[in-house]
Amino acid sequence: MGTQVNTDVDLNASVDQAALLGIDAEGYDDVIVKAKVKVVSQVKQDSDVDVSGDPATAAGADIAVVQDTDIDQTLNLKVQVKETADDLVVKVKVKEVTKVDQDTDVGIALTQEEGFDVDVTQTVDIDQDSKTKVKVQDSVDLDVDTLLAQGADVVQDVDIDAESTADGLTIDVDPDQSADTDQFVGVDLEAHNV
């Protein structure tokens, strides 16, 4: 039978981004809302499998699996409120950025020595940053509530089954990575023209 090597690398990523703006204004002729929302989502996934050595003479193997997930989330919120005549002008700028980078490397070195040496390295790096800036004209009676939320969930798993029989070697390596991220911006304004 000889040497049989099977690998199945599975990489999954999901990004959920949302923004909600609520305005309640009393006593103004008109409410002018200028909203600018920029959403950036970037997912990079890479996997590499390297098998070396002579299958005909293999009695064992050195198996190395490296799984790495990097998540970078940024939320920026700017709110500017002012009065012009009897109108209320609200400017809202939201920028949501999520970057997910997943890498999996599998190295299998077939050896002439019996037995299996397994080395698994798993790393997760999550960087989250948020900024809120609210600017309100002095003459505006305003209550403002903001909510900026960020979440990230990473699961890294690897199943390794290595067996040596009289028929030869059978090596199965199944590394899985999943990353689920979410970002939410909520702005609630209550203005009263007194």
In terms of Cα–Cα distance, which of 174, 164, 191, 182 is closest to 59? 164
8 A C-beta contact, residue 44 and residue 100 = yes
Tens digit of pLDDT for each residue in 118-147? 999 999 999 999 999 999 988 888 898 999
How far is it, in rounded angstroms, from Cα 173 to Cα 113? 20
Number of H helices, E strands in the chain: 0, 8
Q: What's the pLDDT band for 194 if we cut at 50, 70, 90?
A: low
How remote is the C-alpha of 137 from its chain's centroid?
37
For Cα atoms 126, 179, 108, give the angle at the middle one, nearest 5 degrees: 95
Tens digit of pLDDT for each residue in 53-91? 999 889 999 999 999 999 999 999 999 999 888 889 999
Tens digit of pLDDT for each residue in 15-28? 999 999 999 988 88
Percent of the chain with pLDDT over 90: 80
Q: State the first-to-last Cα distance of the chain, in angstroms, to the nearest integer.
A: 88
Which pLDDT does position 142 carry in this prediction?
Answer: 86
Q: Where along the chain do its domains lie?
A: 4-192
Q: What's the pLDDT band for 2 if we cut at 50, 70, 90?
A: confident
pTM: 0.87
